[in-house]
Amino acid sequence: MSEAELRAFLQPDETALELLSRTVSEPIQTGTWFLGALRIAQVLELTGQSGSAKTEVLIQIAVNCVLPEEAEGRAEHVVLLDLDAKFDALRLIQTLSARIQGAEKDLDRDAELRAALRRFHLVQCRSSFELLAALETLPALIERLQGDGTLQLVLLDNMAAHYWVDKARHATPGQRPTCAAMTLHAVHAAIAGKLQQLLRKYRRGRGW
């Protein structure tokens, strides 16, 4: 590590006032008893075997954000990066419909369902390179959403989905790599760096 990199690493991320302003803000309810609530700029990783309902947990968290306040939601935007292209949109609609119908207040189910779905933004990434491109363009999406509320959460479903797929593509004889100038290690490092940049940039705002 060079001296310049060391100096950059030692720079403070935020002041005490900034830390308090985001940690004492209203938490994001996940809708699951074992997770409780999330705070702004909190990063949470869920791990488990295939079929252990990790995606279902993400759906519950997203539903809690995009639902209107009358249905115990927050009416906030959510972006979900689907990394294995297997997201079940029907399950999302079923969960939203059940929550709207179960609300104590009399709501127009169809209207509220459409409004909630407009707050949910699905981005499918079929390789690590597509994920990196999505993260690079995410700030533009965030800026566009500011005119219609606030982006509350960014969810990533199945971070490990691309590892073996990308590795197989690079190892296939006679097949040119997706990007010869970048190794998989470099791409994964760039993804981690981009996530850190996004977190630092937006955590001072509401919902991060």
Domain ranges of the chain: 3-202
Nearest CA to 157 among 75, 49, 45?
A: 45
Query: pLDDT-derived band of residue 119, with 50, 70 and 90 as boundaries?
Result: very high
pLDDT at 99 over 80: yes
Give pLDDT, residue 91.
95
- pLDDT per residue as tens digits for the range 138-168: 988 888 887 666 776 889 998 877 776 676 6
Give pLDDT, residue 203.
65
Give pLDDT, residue 206.
44
6: how many CB neighbours lie within 10 A of its CB? 9
Average pLDDT, rounded, for the chain: 81
Query: pLDDT-derived band of residue 171, with 50, 70 and 90 as boundaries?
Result: low
Q: What is the mean pLDDT of residues 74-97?
A: 92
Query: pLDDT-derived band of residue 89, with 50, 70 and 90 as boundaries?
Result: very high
Task: Please report, for the chain, how many H helices and E strands are present, in that order.
Answer: 8, 5
Q: Give Dmax over CA atoms of the chain in angstroms.
A: 62
- pLDDT per residue as tens digits for the range 33-47: 777 777 766 778 888
Q: What is the mean pLDDT of residues 119-132?
A: 91
pLDDT at 202 over 80: no
143: how many CB neighbours lie within 10 A of its CB? 10
Q: What is the mean pLDDT of residues 12-21?
A: 72
Q: Contact at 8 Å (CB) between 37 and 27? A: yes
CATH 3.40.50.300 fits 3-202, yes or no: yes
